[in-house]
Structure 1
Amino acid sequence: MSVAAAKAAAERARRRAHEAMVAAAEQSRGEKLTIKTATGWVHGRMEETEGKLVRSWRGIPFGADTSGDNRFRAPRPAPAWEGIRYCSEFGPVAPQPTYSWQDRIVGSEDCLHLDVVRPDTDEKLPVVVYFHGGSFIVGSSHMLMLRGFQLTEAMNVVYVSINFRLGALGYLDLRSLSDDCVANPAVMDQLLALQWVQENISAFGGDPDCVTAMGESAGGAAVLTLMASPAAKGLFHRAIAQSSPVGMVHSRTQSTFWARELVKRMALPRGTTVGALREAAGDDIVRAGQSMMWRNGELLHLNSSYAPTVDGDLIPDHPLEVFARGQQLDIPLLIGTNSDEASFSKFMFQREHIRQRAAVRLLASFDEENARGVVDAYDGATNRNDFAELLADALFWAPSIRIAQSHALKNSTWMYRFSYASKALRALGLGAMHSMELSNVFGDMNASRASLLLRMGSAEEMDELTALMQRHWANFIHFGRPGNDWPQYTTSASQAKSESPGVAPAHRATMTFDVPHRLDFDPRRERRKAWNDYNMLEWGLGRPDILAEIEFLLEGFRP
C-alpha cells in the first residue's frame, strides 16, 4: 500500500470512529438533547471538538418570517409548533451578497434563528450571546469560526449565536420615504433574541441572570449600541466589544441620504414609499444596496451605507454621546482593538500627497475644523503605515477609547490591544489584522480566513496566547472581571494629577496581547490626545452640499 493510500485509509478509519462515538453519545443522551422551549420542543445533536463532546441545537427560530408585508417592520416572535423540532441543521442566513462574479444572493428573509452550544454536562452555566460581524451586510450565526464548539468547552459556558437582518433589509432607516416602518430592524431582531434567551436559556442549563453580550466588528458595535438602548436593560449583564466601529452609527441626515440612494439604485420613482419596496424582490434590494455601497465613493468619506440609526427612541442618541452622559447600561465592559485593523489600506494609494489628501477627506465629513490636526498627529499620513493606522484608529481605536474612558466613570472597564501576528503576516506587512484575535478567543486557528498564514508561525506561541485570552474572557464571563493580572482602565482626575513630568501615567491600563503579553499604560498617548476635540458624532457637518440636498428632499416630502 502506498503512503497516500495508507493515509487515506487511516483518515477513513478515524472518521468512522468519530461518527460512531458521536452516534453513541447521541443515543445515550437523547433525553438531554430534547428541550422544551416557550414555542415548542427542540432536539439537538452531539458535536465533537478536539476529542471532547458538546451538545448543540442548530437553527432554533426566535422570530417569524420578515419577508413581504413584514419587511422593514419590528420582528414578531416565532410561531409555536407541535411535536419535536429536530435542530440538526443551521437555519438560513440573512439575505446577503456572495461577492462572486455571478452577483448571486444567498439567504432567506425567514432568517431569525439562533444556535445553542453547551458542554456535555448538566451544570448551570453563564451564557454568552454572540453577535457576528460583517460590516452590517454579511455574516451569520454559524460562520465556521463562530460555531463555538471549542469556546464553550474551554470557557465552560452556554454559547448562543444569533442571526439578524442585514444590509438594506436590516440596517437602513427608511422613515424618510414613509413612516410605515421602523428605523432599526436589525437592532430589534437582536433585542428579540435576547428576550428569547431570558425566557428559554434556563432549559438549556444557562443562567439568565448571568448573560454576556459579545461581538466583534459590526457585532461589537451592536453590543455597544444595545448598551445605549434603554430597551436592553436587564437583558444582559456583561459586555465584550471587540474591534467595534461604533462611531459609524447613522444620523437621521445620513440615513435619509442612503434611503434616497437605494430608491435611485432600484430605478424607482422619486416618490417611492416603503410599500413599493415591500413589493420588490428581496434579492433586488440586496443587489441595489451593494451597488450603492461600493460605486458612489462615499466610503472615502467614512460614510458607510449601513449602521444602526439614532431614532430618538430605541436608540435615543449616538452611543458615544449616551456613554459620555453616563446613561448607558451599568454593567462591566471589556473592550479593545487590533493594532493593524486596516493594514489593507497600505496598498490603497501609491503617492504620498494623494494619501494625505485622502486622510483629510476621510475625517472632514465629520469635523472639517479638527480633521487636519488629527492627520498632523500621524505625520500627515503620507507614510503607508501612518495612513493605515489613521484609518484603523478612525474606525475602531479612537471610538473605543472614547467609550472606555466614559464607561470607566460608571462601571468596571478593561481595555486590550491585540498585537500578535505570525511571521508570515508580519512579512507581508499585514500584522494583527482585523478579526485576527478571533482565532485565539474561539480557539480555532483552522477556521480563520488567514489560517494558512497563521500556520506559518509558531504553534507554541498561538497556543500560549489562546490559553491566556480564553482565561481572561472566561473569567470575565463567569465573574464580571478578567484575571487579577489585568488592571481596570481608569481615567480619574486624581490619578492624572499625580503624574510626574515626563513620566508615563499609571492609568489607562491596556493589556497588550502579544508574545510575550504585557501591560501598557496610556499607549500611543499623543495620538489619543489628538482625537480629544474631534467630533465623531455627526456625519455630514463637513459636507454642506450634501446637507443642503437632503434638506431639500425632506422639505419636498413633508406633509
Structure 2
Amino acid sequence: MASQPQAEAERRGVSPAVAAPPRPRAAEPRVVVRTSAGLIAGERVGRGAVFRGVPYARPPLGPLRFASPRPPESWHGVRDAVRFTDVSLQSVIPNRPVPPSSEDSLYANVWTPDPGGSLPVLVYIHGGGWQAGAGSMPAYDGARLAERGDLVVVTFNYRLGVLGFGLHEELTDPDTGHFANWGLQDQKALLRWVHANAAAFGGDPGNITVCGTSAGGATAWQLALLPELRGLIRRIVSISPSHATPPATALTPEDARTAYEAVAGRLGTTVAGLREVPAAALAAAWEELFAPRPEERIVASGRWYRGPVVDGRTTPAHDHRLPGPEVPVLSVHTRTEGSFYTGPASPQPAPAPRGEAELRRAVREVLSLGEPGADDHLAETCVAAYRAAAVDAGLPRDPLTLWTEIWGDAYFRHQIVRFAERHARHGDSPLYTMEFAHEARPPHFGTPHEATSPFLFGTHRLPQFAQILGDGSVERLLSDVFIDAVAAFARTSVPRTPNTPDWRPFTPDAPSTLVLGGPGVVEVAHPAKLAQLGFWDAVGWAPRPH
C-alpha cells in the first residue's frame, strides 16, 4: 500500500522523490576527525555525524576586534564538538528570541553522511539583515539536508552589526590593511577553512557550493564576484537576497565614517579606542544612533539594514554595477516576499493600512527607505500601478495586499528577477530560477520571505514551523523536491531531478522558472506578477531591466 506522501504525489502527478541510498549505521557514538587545528569529536546523528562549535578562526577579542580573522589556534588532544556555541553579538529584533550572544562566535557546524566519503559541500550563510541570526538556529539544522542530499552541510556564525559591517580607516588591520566589512571577511575565512578541511569530514574540497538566504543570499552573490575566491566557489544558491545598496540596505563610506566617529564620541573615546570599550556598550551606542526615524538621523543611508559598505576590497562596488557571477547560479525567491514584513511576525511591526490615506502613508514609508523624500504623489503612482496590475490579473487589491506586494517587490523580487534577466542576456554561466509559492497558514499569509529555509533543511516538521507552514504530505514532498534539486545542483550544476526534468536555464521570454508549491505543486512556468515590476523600472530602481 502506498504511503500517504506517495499517494498524494501520485494523485498530483508528481514522482515520489528518491532518497540517497542507506549507509551502514556505526555503533560508536563519538566520531573523531582531524582538522587543520587538531582533533575534534562529534557525535552520530542518523546514519551520519554532526560536529558543532568547530573554530574556523581565532576569537576576535581585544586587539582582534575590528581585525581581519586569524586562523584558529591549535590544540592538543581531542576537542569536543557536540554543542553549539554562543551566537554573534547582535541586535534584538522584535518577534525573534535571541540566545546568549558573544564576540567569541567564529565557529562552524558540520553535518556529514559519511566522514570517509568525498561528497559535495554546501556552505550555508544565514540571514538576518547583517545584524542578527546564527548558523545554529533550529531552522538550519543540517541533518535532513545532509542525509537526503548526500551532502556535507556547513553552517556558521560571522560578525554582525557594528562589529561586522561598516568602514573606518582608523580601524585598519596593520597586518592585512583591511578596515571594513569584518563579517564578509569572516565569510571568506570560513570558505578557506572549509576548503582546507572538507576532506576530514568526507567532503570534496574541489566541489563547494555557497548557499544563503536573505542577507546570506546577497553575500553568497557578492562572494562569487571576488576574484580571490574564483576556483574555490564552484556555484551559488542565492535565496531571497536583498542586495546591499545605500540608502536602504547599506551605509555609504562617508556615512560609515560619521557613524563610527559619533559612536566613539558618545562613548568618550576615539574610533581606534572602540576596540577597548565593553561590547554591550558599543552595540547599544550603535543601536541608539540608528534608533530615530531615518530622516532624523545624523546619516542618511543605512535606513533599513546596514550591510556591506563599498571598500574596494571585500565589496569593490555594489552588485548592480558589477558583472554577474561567472559560476552557475540557482536563484530563488518567494511569491510574496513582503508578507514577512506585513504579517504577524514582522521584524519591523507596523499596523496594516486601512483605507486609501493609510495605504498611501504606508507605501510612502516603504519608498522613502530607498528614495529619500518620496512624496504622496510617488506613493499614489505606485499604488495606482499595483492596483491596475492586480485588476488585470484578477488578484486581490485590498490595502494589506497592495502594501505587502509593494514591500516585497521593492527590496526583493524586483531585483531578483531583473538580475536573472540580466544574467540570462549577458552572463556566461547558467542561471536557474525557482519561485517558492507554498502559502503559510493563517494568520500568516502568502509565501513570506524566509519561508524557504525550513523546507530546504527539512525543519518545517518542527512544531514552531509546522504550525505556520504545515507538515502534511504535500509539505514533505515540497521539502524533498527542494532538497533533491539543490543537491543535484551542488553535484552537477544542473538542478534536474525526476520531479524537475524540464527545468532549464532561465530564459526571460520562455517558461523556465520552477514554481514549487503552487497549484501545480511542481511545474515550470513564467514567474508570477511580472507586470507589477514595471513601476520600479519606471522610477529607476536598480538593477535596470537590460
Normalising by structure 1, we get a TM-score of 0.78
What CA distance in whole angstroms lies between the structure 2 residues aligned with 1:506 and 1:359? 32
- Does the alignment pair 1:89 with 2:83? yes
Letter in 1 for 2:325: L
- Partner deviation per Cα, 1:298-356 (whole Å, 9 max, x = no partner): 6999822420111122211101221xxx3x43111111211222224264434422322
User: Residues 64 and 448 of structure 1: is their aligned pair in 2 closer, same or farther, counting only changes over 3 Å?
Assistant: farther
Partner residue in 2 for 1:554: none
Letter in 2 for 1:334: L
What CA distance in whole angstroms lies between the structure 2 residues aligned with 1:104 and 1:148? 20
Q: 1:174 aligns with which of 168, 180, 186?
A: 168
User: Residues 92 and 305 of structure 1: is their aligned pair in 2 closer, same or farther, counting only changes over 3 Å?
Assistant: same
Shift in Å, 1:203 = 1.7
More helix by share: 1
Letter in 2 for 1:520: A
What pairs up with 1:377-456 in 2 under 5 angstroms? Answer: 377-379=385-387, 383-408=399-424, 409-410=426-427, 411-422=429-440, 425=441, 427-428=442-443, 430-447=445-462, 449-455=464-470
2:158–2:187 CA contact under 8 A, matched in 1: yes
What CA distance in whole angstroms lies between the structure 1 residues aligned with 2:520 and 2:365? 38
User: Residues 284 and 382 of structure 1: is their aligned pair in 2 closer, same or farther, counting only changes over 3 Å?
Assistant: farther
Shift in Å, 1:185 = 0.4
What CA distance in whole angstroms lies between the structure 2 residues aligned with 1:420 and 1:104? 27
Q: 2:113 aligns with which of 111, 119, 132?
A: 119
User: Residues 230 and 447 of structure 1: is their aligned pair in 2 closer, same or farther, counting only changes over 3 Å?
Assistant: farther
Partner residue in 2 for 1:329: 325
What CA distance in whole angstroms lies between the structure 2 residues aligned with 1:348 and 1:174? 39
Q: Secondary structure at the match of 1:406?
A: helix
Q: Secondary structure at the match of 1:453?
A: helix
Partner residue in 1 for 2:33: 35
2:434–2:514 CA contact under 8 A, matched in 1: yes
What CA distance in whole angstroms lies between the structure 1 residues aligned with 2:439 and 2:250? 39
* Structure 1 portions without partners, runs of 5+: 1-23, 492-504, 539-559
Matched pairs, number: 484
What CA distance in whole angstroms lies between the structure 2 residues aligned with 1:466 and 1:228? 29
- Does the alignment pair 1:356 with 2:360? yes
Partner residue in 2 for 1:461: 474
Q: Secondary structure at the match of 1:28?
A: coil
What CA distance in whole angstroms lies between the structure 2 residues aligned with 1:61 and 1:263? 32
What CA distance in whole angstroms lies between the structure 2 residues aligned with 1:397 and 1:100? 24
Shift in Å, 1:148 = 0.3
Partner residue in 1 for 2:5: none
Partner residue in 1 for 2:217: 220
Letter in 1 for 2:435: R
Q: Secondary structure at the match of 1:392?
A: helix
User: Residues 104 and 406 of structure 1: is their aligned pair in 2 closer, same or farther, counting only changes over 3 Å?
Assistant: closer
User: Residues 111 and 252 of structure 1: is their aligned pair in 2 closer, same or farther, counting only changes over 3 Å?
Assistant: closer
Partner residue in 2 for 1:254: 252
2:127–2:215 CA contact under 8 A, matched in 1: yes
What CA distance in whole angstroms lies between the structure 1 residues aligned with 2:383 and 2:253? 27
Shift in Å, 1:195 = 0.4
What CA distance in whole angstroms lies between the structure 2 residues aligned with 1:187 and 1:371? 35
User: Residues 429 and 139 of structure 1: is their aligned pair in 2 closer, same or farther, counting only changes over 3 Å?
Assistant: closer
Letter in 1 for 2:436: F
1:113–1:162 CA contact under 8 A, matched in 2: yes
Structure with more contact order per residue of length (Cα contacts < 8 Å, sep ≥ 6): 2
User: Residues 443 and 115 of structure 1: is their aligned pair in 2 closer, same or farther, counting only changes over 3 Å?
Assistant: same
* Structure 2 portions without partners, runs of 5+: 1-23, 344-350, 389-396
Q: Is the deviation greater in 86-95 or in 294-303?
A: 294-303
Shift in Å, 1:228 = 2.5
What pairs up with 1:101-250 in 2 under 5 angstroms? Answer: 106-120=100-114, 122-175=116-169, 182-248=179-245
What CA distance in whole angstroms lies between the structure 2 residues aligned with 1:252 and 1:291? 17
Q: 2:507 aligns with which of 480, 490, 494?
A: 490
Shift in Å, 1:480 = 0.6
Normalising by structure 2, we get a TM-score of 0.80
Q: 2:266 aligns with which of 265, 268, 271?
A: 268
User: Residues 462 and 510 of structure 1: is their aligned pair in 2 closer, same or farther, counting only changes over 3 Å?
Assistant: closer
Q: Is the deviation greater in 406-415 or in 288-297?
A: 288-297
Letter in 2 for 1:242: I
Shift in Å, 1:527 = 1.8
RMSD across aligned positions (CA): 3.2
What CA distance in whole angstroms lies between the structure 2 residues aligned with 1:302 and 1:81? 41
Q: Secondary structure at the match of 2:537?
A: coil
Q: Secondary structure at the match of 2:252?
A: helix
Shift in Å, 1:97 = 3.9
User: Residues 223 and 419 of structure 1: is their aligned pair in 2 closer, same or farther, counting only changes over 3 Å?
Assistant: same
Letter in 1 for 2:485: H
Q: Secondary structure at the match of 2:82?
A: coil
Partner residue in 1 for 2:58: 64
What CA distance in whole angstroms lies between the structure 2 residues aligned with 1:70 and 1:337? 37
What CA distance in whole angstroms lies between the structure 2 residues aligned with 1:313 and 1:100? 33
1:302–1:362 CA contact under 8 A, matched in 2: no
